[in-house]
Structure 1
Amino acid sequence: MAHSEKGSPEIDLELQTHIGRHLKASYDDILVQNVPDRFLDLLKTLEEKEKGQDSRDEQR
């Protein structure tokens, strides 16, 4: 592995491309998965609490 002028290792372009393709494929798989119902419920609860807080702030 080559080193840059600063002494840190450099990864050649072919390896960077290979890693990039695999990362993209992994993230693409994650993006098409459904969000679990429990997580959606938690987000809904948080949103309702924030709306309630905003209403109280507006009344002041």
Structure 2
Amino acid sequence: MEELEIQDYARQLFYAHGAKAIAEAAQKAASLEEKGESDQAITWRRVEAALHEILGPPQS
């Protein structure tokens, strides 16, 4: 998946699920890693990273 597609998918996931989207992406990646589907897990880790960028750094 291209970087623009990752960013677009992350935005869609964020708009649909809010801050919970990060946890959902992480869970999906972990599940795929357990199943040995490393290529798909890497994609989900990229989506997770893009979601972190969307939310920005934690604020106090």
Give the TM-score normalised by structure 2.
0.35
TM (normalized to structure 1)? Answer: 0.35
The structure with the larger Rg is 1
* Greater RCO, 1 or 2 (C-alpha within 8 Å, sep 6+): 2
